[in-house]
Homo-oligomer: A and B are copies of this chain.
């Protein structure tokens, strides 16, 4: 009796060439995080439920993978922020603040099964944590990192949308809508999705009067900071305006292309814990993908573990979902990817020569496959083609005798011979 070798729905498992593209994207993200002087962290996937669920509630508790092993009540991490909070508060005395860390790893949520939603997925997080205080300068480091990543990834035009929660909080406070802020922010957050009409309807349904709605629309339709300065006079609002101005000024000084960032007063971020700068990132030609990189500033990372005040700012990329979307939208085409730069096709028994060529190619910093298939020439070449190789290095007895190799370009169906000495001058990219 054979067991059916099946993979659970909601768990991404890719074909080799797809995985290659996935890893390429993941590595660009990690490398960029490292370029800015961030330390990698790798916290356990399994933690005590009491630790992971110290703050959580509602949806999170329902979705979590939780089980007993021995006497322990355990859970799989559902994000990388709670483990960071645990890490920083338990090692507070040994860490150097501001503590800059990135973490790229899988998290687990038993969501309802639907297309494009995953139960196991990668988050690519970066955060700076301050001890008691954290300079606003870090709030401009985040968009700078996002900018570098999406420039390198080259998925087309992108825009980093930046706002400050203090502006929104101060503004609605001054309109006497303090109690309704979270409802209003939730509605504003959906503006792009549901449209202006529907937004007004929703704002009315939570009892905003016409003047309040009018001012609200004025705010969220503004495209730059100067336009909103007169809309409100409130300490929190003014602080938010100053912070946002400082971030935008810094991005200019950092030389980011102005097409790739903007203030957007509709950005609120659903999560409760953002208290200052907030970010979302969208692909201009693919608005339907939603925000592909989001985050913001928070006053307090770990209040459920420690009395220390640990403010931070961070961003996160949900890579598994993003990768799925990029494939669906055909923005990436993994099927043509190959893991090796060249493949050697030995048609001789002189393996001394074959390995000499192999070592030479490796010395050129190339990724080199060798086809050891015990088959004929056609089948070996078919193997190279099916793996998407561009260049096959063919070594027959003729080549050995002449101290040469034959280089076959499998995409352009051309072939040339070069001497072993000249091989190191060849380009294979």
Listed stretches A133-141, A195-203, A217-225, A394-402; interface member:
A133-141
Assign chain A's interface to a size class. 35 or more
Q: Mark A351-391, 1 if CB is under 8 A from B, else 0.
A: 11001001100100001111011100000000100110000
Listed stretches A277-285, A289-297, A303-311; interface member:
A303-311
CB pair A96 B13 closer than 8 Å? no
CB-defined contacts of A367 to chain B, threshold 8 Å: 34-37
A271 on the B face (CB < 8 A):
no
Given A355-B255, A368-B35, A374:B135 Cβ within 8 A: yes
Choice from B37, B39, B372 contacting A138 with Cβ under 8 Å? B372
Residue of B nearest to A100 (CB): B369
Given A46-B120, A372-B138, A387-B96, A19:B3 Cβ within 8 A: no
**A5→B303 CA distance, assembly (Å):** 11
A340 on the B face (CB < 8 A):
yes
Chain multiplicity (copies)? 2
Given A3-B305, A100-B369, A306-B5, A40:B19 Cβ within 8 A: yes
Q: Mark A3-24, 1 if CB is under 8 A from B, else 0.
A: 1111110011111110110110
Listed stretches A67-75, A234-242, A409-417; interface member:
A67-75
CB pair A22 B42 closer than 8 Å? yes
**A85→B137 CA distance, assembly (Å):** 50
A428 on the B face (CB < 8 A):
no
Closest chain-B Cβ to A183's Cβ sits at a distance in Å of 30
A253 on the B face (CB < 8 A):
yes
CB pair A37 B254 closer than 8 Å? no
Residue of B nearest to A94 (CB): B15
A190 on the B face (CB < 8 A):
no
**A410→B39 CA distance, assembly (Å):** 20
CB-defined contacts of A352 to chain B, threshold 8 Å: 253
CB-defined contacts of A87 to chain B, threshold 8 Å: 5, 13
CB pair A51 B3 closer than 8 Å? yes
CB pair B13 A355 closer than 8 Å? no
Q: Which 5 A-B pairs have the closest CB atoms?
A: A37-B369, A67-B67, A37-B340, A16-B39, A11-B44
Residues of A within 8 A of B (CB): 2-8, 11-17, 19-20, 22-23, 34-48, 50-51, 54, 65-70, 72, 74, 76, 85-87, 89-91, 94-96, 98-101, 106, 108, 110, 119-120, 133, 135, 137-138, 141, 250, 253-255, 302, 304-307, 339-340, 343, 351-352, 355, 358-359, 362, 367-370, 372-374, 383, 386-387
Q: Can you name 6 A-B pairs with beta carbons within 8 Å? A: A4-B305, A5-B90, A19-B39, A40-B339, A66-B67, A253-B352
